[in-house]
Structure 1
Amino acid sequence: MDLLLTLAIPLLSATLFAFAGNRPWAPVANGISSFFLFLATLVLAAHGVRDPGVRALSGQLFLDPLNLIFLVLTGLVSLTTALYSIGYVRFETASGRLGDKALRLYHSLFQMVVFSMSLGLLSNNLGLLWVALETATLSNAFLISLYQTPKSIEAAWKYFVLLGVGIAQAFFGLILLYFAAERELGPGGKALLWTELSRVQSHLDPTVLSLAFIFFFVGFGTKAGLVPLHGWLPDAHAEGPTPASAILSGLLLNLALYALLRVKMLADAVVPGHLTGHILLVFGFLSVLVAVFSLRKRNDVKRLFSYSSIEHLGIASVGFGLGGPAAALAALLHMTFHSLAKSCVFFLVGTASQCCRTQKIRDIRGLLALSPFWGWALVLAGLALLGMPPFGLFASEFLLLRELVRTHPLLAGLFLLSLSVAFAVLLKRILAMVSGDRPSGRMPAFAKTPVLIHLSLLAVLGIGIPSVLWHWYQKTAHYLTGLP
């Protein structure tokens, strides 16, 4: 019942907002709905820790240690983004950028994206997971084109075409996986159930599973924004509304990598030579290098941080590619902390863009003089994103670096070089935006709560992760690597 409630809240909210999303109370109602969703994910987490085998809809939905982490994270970031969007939407409405139709579309699609992510995470059926990812893709494409400018329509079209091609590759991988599983499980829906597949994974055909993983990697890797499949990501960030960027970087990219991890766990049981790990390791490092050395040329603030998202998803892929519980633990922590840091950064740069009426970095100046809170918050969020102590990303990057030094010393040096370049470029851009004379614009009246929540969590979890949470992540890391 709790599983169904978690899905019902955003789905019913999306239906309501499709008709009444332009009402004055709609932004607040969007926040209330997201609050109840977050509560529902916490209840699920409490149940899942005690009984990780919870299922619903005849086994089509389930809980396990892996999806619980991302489900709670989805509930939290959705809530803070909905709170942020209250002020964001009001400012955009007052400035004439959003009309009644756009408001209905925005609030409805916001909840539909959240529903799709929740459905994908809870899906025991890999076919249903594929459907959820496609639904999220379609919903987010309309969000990207919300402003109906030529550039936003072009970005949405590029997003839809590239991810449509990607999801088609994933569908072919799904067919291959079903072909391999049907021999062991027989025809029918059971051949795509994760719980059934994991039970017989050691008996699946390694050749077919290798091909399936490659197709899944192309499909889900496109959605995760891994190089060279990342072309849609900068445009989507630059042209869509800021809350959509926060959801996209903070949650949707995670869902794509989560889906790929599900297939990796199956393939690792039978595919020799650590093939899946090598693929993730190579393309993860490629993503880090391309993203880091592309940062210097970015002049749009949201496009700049979209490349940072590519970098951090690449770092997580490196962790999962290395294999072993320690590297998997570092990657899980990194995905969690990146979601908190990146969504917070988008809250801040979105506010700065509205204040200065531009997304050009050279024209965003004097944020500290305009508002000490927003200026210092951007500096702190930037430091958190760059992995400075005491924030959480320092811990995850340190753990990953330790594993790289132990297993691949040369790659460890390259990893440190990449982090240093990203640090220098991003810190220079952030300091330029907060310094200088007070701009002529005014700071929108946004609630500071979402920013404070994210910065507090990043600092507290960076200083010391509670034992309950630490054991949960350790258990999930062992679960990912097939160890007891």
Structure 2
Amino acid sequence: MILVLMILSPITGAIVLGLWGHRKIAPLLNIAFSLLTFFLTLILGEEVSLHGPLVALDENLFADTFSSLFLVITGGVAATTSFFSLRYMTIEASHGRLTPERTRLYLALYQIFVLTMIVVLASNNLGLLWVALEGATLATVLLVGWTRTPAAIKASWKYFILCGVGIAQALFGTILLYFASEKTLGPGGTALLLTHLETVKSQLEPTVMSLAFVFFMVGYGTKVGLVPLHNWLPDAHAEGPTPISAVLSGLLLNVALYAILRVKSLADGAIHSSMPSNLLMGFGLASVLLASISMWKRQDIKRLFAYSSIEHMGLATLAFGIGGPLATFAGLLHMTTHSLVKSAIFFAVGHIVQTSGSQKIPSIREVALRTPGLARALLAGGFAITGLPPFALFASELLIITEAVKRIPFAVPFLLLALFVTFGVLIFRILEISEGGPSMTTKPLPPLPKLTFFPIWIHLGLALILGTVFPATLYSVYQKALLVLGGPHGG
């Protein structure tokens, strides 16, 4: 029943907040429901670790080590983002930009957004997985346009159109996969169940599966923000509320890549060629290169870190394309740590933008003088996201480069150049924001409540632990996830 309860939690939260989200206690209720969901994902993770995969609702829901890992990450980041939202919305209300109706809409949609991501990760049915990702698209469209400014409306429409086209490609891929599997599994719902498909993947028609994987890669790759399907992502981050930027970068991109990896496991077993891996490597490398170039002249702080998200998802995709135990382990570690660090950065950026009244970097300099706590948090996040030791992204990037030298040595110089450019741009911009001047005002602001920094330092602290003392329990989880992704060799 834990799978069902885990899904019922955000459903109940959405209903309650949809009815009473305009009341003063509503943001606290949002935190309570988010914490409950996180607690249930932890219980689920323990159950899977002790007793193996779980199924529910006539096999339509399913959790193994791979999915439970990202369910815990999703529940945890969603919970800390709900804490961040409390302070964020308080400031928005004090500036007169928040009405009770808009608060209710935001909180209800937030729970729906969390629900759709959890359903994707807990889905055993590829049709249900597609529906849940489409639901995430619709919820995000409304959240990106939540401020109702012309730029926000434009960004939400752009997101809707591009991701709508992408999700349509994924639907066609799902249909092709069904045609390939029904000959073996028979017509009906079992032909789309992952647990059944895994047992017969070597018997699936290779030509049909090759075509299906291309559509899945393009369709769900749009949601990941892979180049050249990435154009929606910088606009959505720049114009949407900062808490939504945190969960978009920290969670939704992971969830979409998770869907691709599930299908890749099937394609590898059916096609018996390197085509799926080559596609992932191509999309991943292109994303890293273009994102690093695009950061060069960014003057919007949220747009800058949006391109950073494209780069990091490109690195993770490249790792899974390279394959093998080390590269696959690096991809999982990279996804995990990026979720923690990038959401922490957006928490800091959100407070900086609110205290400065602008997202433009020239207008938000001298943060170290005005709000030194935020400057320290942003600098620590910058060190972590650029892959400096001892944070875990250093370990994952080092492993990816090491494996790339073995598999695609011709691409290593371009990869290193892109990482070097990204490092230089991000550190320069963060120092410019913290120490550069003059800004619009140099007057120190009142100290922020300590609770403001709680989600930031929790996330960065976990990224530090993963980079220094990798817990044995988590290492065991990663080993089991490698088996799910590609047998004993991890891909």
Which of the five TM-score ranges fits, normalised by the shorter chain?
Answer: over 0.9
The equivalent of 1:293 in structure 2 is 293
Indicate the SS of the match to 1:273: coil
Tell me which residue corresponds to 2:98: 98
Q: Which residue of 1 aligns with 2:479?
A: 474
Among 464, 467, 473, which residue is 2:469 paired with? 464
- 1:304-347 superposed Cα distances (whole Å, 9 cap, x missing partner): 10000000000000000001111110000000000101000000
Give the Å deviation of 1:409: 2.2
CA distance in structure 1 between the aligned counterparts of 2:263 and 2:404, rounded to whole angstroms: 24
Q: What residue is the counterpart of 1:454 in the other structure?
A: 459
Tell me the equivalent position of 1:235: 235
CA distance in 2, matches of 1:88, 1:442: 16
Distance in 2, Cα, partners of 1:131 & 1:169: 13
CA distance in 2, matches of 1:273, 1:209: 11
How many residues were matched structurally? 484
| Inter-partner Cα distance in structure 1 for 2:150 and 2:403 | 46
Q: Which residue in 1 is equivalent to 2:382?
A: 382
CA-to-partner distance for each residue in 1:30-54, whole Å, 9 max, x for gaps? Answer: 1111111111111000000112221
Moved more, 369-378 or 42-51: 369-378
Aligned to 1:483, what secondary structure does the other structure show?
helix
CA distance in 2, matches of 1:291, 1:451: 25
Q: SS at the partner of 2:124?
A: coil
Q: Which amino acid aligns with 2:407?
A: T
Q: Secondary structure at the match of 2:230?
A: coil
Partner of 1:332: 332
Which whole-Å CA distance do the structure 2 matches of 1:280 and 1:287 have between them? 10
Distance 1:134 1:441, change over 3 A: farther
Q: CA deviation at 1:411?
A: 1.8
Partner of 1:203: 203
Q: CA deviation at 1:272?
A: 3.4
Aligned 8 A contact 1:326 1:477 in 2: no
1:186 is displaced (CA, Å) by 0.5
Q: Secondary structure at the match of 2:488?
A: coil
Normalising by the residue count of structure 2, what TM-score does the alignment of the two structures yield?
0.97
In the alignment, does 2:33 pair up with 1:33? yes
- Structure 2: gaps (5+ residues): none
2:313 paired residue number = 313
Aligned counterpart, 2:217: 217
Aligned to 1:149: 149
Q: State the Cα deviation string for residues 343-383 of structure 1 (Å, max 9, x = none).
A: 00000111100010000011111111122221111100110
User: Are the aligned partners of 1:355 and 1:441 in contact in 2 as well (CA < 8 Å)?
Assistant: no
The answer on whether the counterparts of 2:356 and 2:363 sit within 8 Å (CA) in structure 1 is: yes
Scaled by the length of structure 1, the TM-score of the pair is 0.98
Give the secondary-structure state (helix, strand or coil) at the position aligned to 1:269: helix
Q: What CA deviation, in whole Å up to 9, does each residue of 1:233-278 have, x standing for no partner?
A: 0000000000000000000001110001111000001213310000
C-alpha displacement of 1:187: 0.6
C-alpha distance in 2 between matches for 1:28 and 1:369 = 32
Deviation at 1:436, TM superposition (A): 4.1
Q: Distance in 1 between matches of 2:77 and 2:284?
A: 24
Q: Identity percentage over the alignment?
A: 50
Instruction: Tell me the residue number matched to 1:361.
Output: 361
Cα deviation, 1:163-203, whole Å, max 9, x if unaligned, reads: 11110110000000000000001110000000000011000
Task: Identify the residue that residue 445 of structure 2 maps to in structure 1.
Answer: 442
Q: Which amino acid aligns with 2:474?
A: L
Which AA in structure 1 matches 2:383? Answer: L
Partner of 2:274: 274
d(CA) in 2 for partners of 1:408, 1:56:
42
**Is the CA contact 2:369–2:444 (under 8 Å) kept in the aligned structure 1?**
no
Q: Does structure 2 retain, via aligned residues, the 8 Å contact 1:367–1:375?
A: yes
CA distance in 2, matches of 1:244, 1:439: 29
Greater shift, 125-134 or 472-481, is seen at 472-481
In structure 1, how many angstroms separate the alpha carbons of the residues matched to 2:405 and 2:136?
38
Mapped contact 1:379–1:430 kept (Cα < 8 A) = yes
The 1:58–1:297 alpha-carbon spacing in structure 2 relative to 1, beyond 3 Å, is same
| 1:177 paired residue number | 177
Paired with 1:352 and 1:53, the residues of 2 have a C-alpha distance of 43
1:170 and 1:215 in contact (8 A); partners too: yes
Q: CA offsets, 1:369-417, max 9 Å, x none?
A: 1222211111001100000011110111111111112222232222111
**Matched residue SS, 1:55:** strand
Matched to 1:160, the amino acid is F
- Shift in alpha-carbon separation, 1:279–1:465, aligned structure 2, 3 A: same
**Secondary structure of 1:237's aligned partner:** helix
Q: Counterpart of 2:76?
A: 76
Letter in 2 for 1:43: I
